[in-house]
Amino acid sequence: MDNLEIIFSSAYEMFLQKRYIESLEKLEEFDNYLSQNYSDDWKISSENLRGFVYLALDNIDQARICFEKSLNIDQNSSQACAGLAEIFLIKNQDKEAKTMFEYAAITNPENQFAVKGLTKVNELLNLPSDHNSLISKEEVKLPDFRNVIFESGELFSNGQYEQAIDGISSVEKKVLNDLVDLRNLLTEMLNMKATAYLNLNQLEEAKESFERALNISPDSSIACWGLAEIFYRTKMYEEAKTMFEWAVKNDNTNLAAEEGLAKTNSVLESFGNNDICDKPTLKLASGKTIIID
């Protein structure tokens, strides 16, 4: 066992023994040694462990910084995703927490913290304990449209109109259901990707993914919240207010949106400018314009 592993193992043992301050001190020693023997894998492990130590100390801001540093090195870090998910859970952002726990569990099925966290958030959302919307669903078997059109056309040509209608109707419902499932799955994945970018403060990338999610599902409260948060961070407070309002309108249980709206109203009131137009609009990257009633 080399020195890096010895020092890190010692920091981890201190963490398990709830000797959190000593664990942080040992991690500082680890980082000093790591600077001479740099390895991305060790740096990721160091930031993730430090993040969980700060979580145990209830220092959410510092924990978040550590997990974001880890994700900057490896966006597939299961522990970092699980750590951010726990932060979302602490802040009562259950849906965002679920998305991050799902990704953490898929990236590393052996990550018991992620698996247990997903179970916990599923219970809060009244979902089956093992529900994971990102797990590949059974392959969608869409009907062969060419055959349907050909067969229905033959029936139509022969004056068998009722049979032609039945032939098309028999597959219509299944196709529509499958398309809805695919739309919902893609929306969730885009929102997760955008939220990850947001946590990394990569705002342009986050904005693009949230807008794509909205193009697919205009009623996505998470996508509205995400765009609102980006507007807020870039000091576009009127636009932030509009999107936070829309996020709440689409899902009145979205506590993150409610908190965002409150902080934005506070800023606008301090400016003495809290009026918005009767029908605010948002123009997406695709060129589509959404009117908020």
Nearest to 34 by CA among 26, 22, 42, 44: 42
The highest-level CATH class for domain 186-291 is mainly alpha
What integer is the mean pLDDT of 222-240?
93
pLDDT at 193: 84
Mean pLDDT of the chain: 82
Nearest to 79 by CA among 114, 33, 127, 123: 114
Which run of H or E residues covers position 268? helix 255-271
- The Cβ-side half-sphere exposure at 72, using a 13 Å CA radius, reads 12
Query: Where residue 263 falls among pLDDT bands split at 50, 70, 90?
Result: very high
Say yes or no: do domains 3-124 and 186-291 share a fold.
yes
Domain ranges of the chain: 3-124, 186-291
Q: What are the pLDDT digits (tens) for 250-262?
A: 988 888 899 999 9
Question: Dihedral (C-alpha) 78, 82, 57, 48: value to the nearest 10 degrees?
Answer: 10
The letter for the amino acid at 98 is K
> φ, ψ for residue 125 (rounded to 5)?
-95, 10
Whether 172 has a pLDDT exceeding 50, the answer reads: yes
Which run of H or E residues covers position 4? helix 3-16
Whether 142 has a pLDDT exceeding 60, the answer reads: no
Place of tokens 């009633």: 293
What integer is the mean pLDDT of 188-216?
88
Q: Among 7-11, 75-79, 151-155, whose mean pLDDT is lowest?
A: 151-155
Q: What are the distances in angstroms from CA 97 to CA 93, 127, 276?
A: 6, 14, 32
180 vs 78, higher pLDDT: 78
Q: Give 49's contacts (C-beta < 8 A, 6+ positions apart).
A: 8, 11, 12, 15, 23, 27
Q: Which of 83-87, 131-135, 189-193, 270-274 has the highest mean pLDDT?
A: 83-87
Q: What are the pLDDT digits (tens) for 94-103?
A: 888 888 898 8
CATH of 3-124, one of 3.20.20.150, 3.40.50.300, 3.40.50.11810, 1.25.40.10: 1.25.40.10
Rounded Cα distance between 159 and 215, Å, is: 41
pLDDT at 189: 82
What integer is the mean pLDDT of 228-242?
93
pLDDT at 41: 86
Rounded Cα distance between 86 and 80, Å, is: 10
Quick count: other Cβ atoms within 10 Å of Cβ 90? Answer: 13
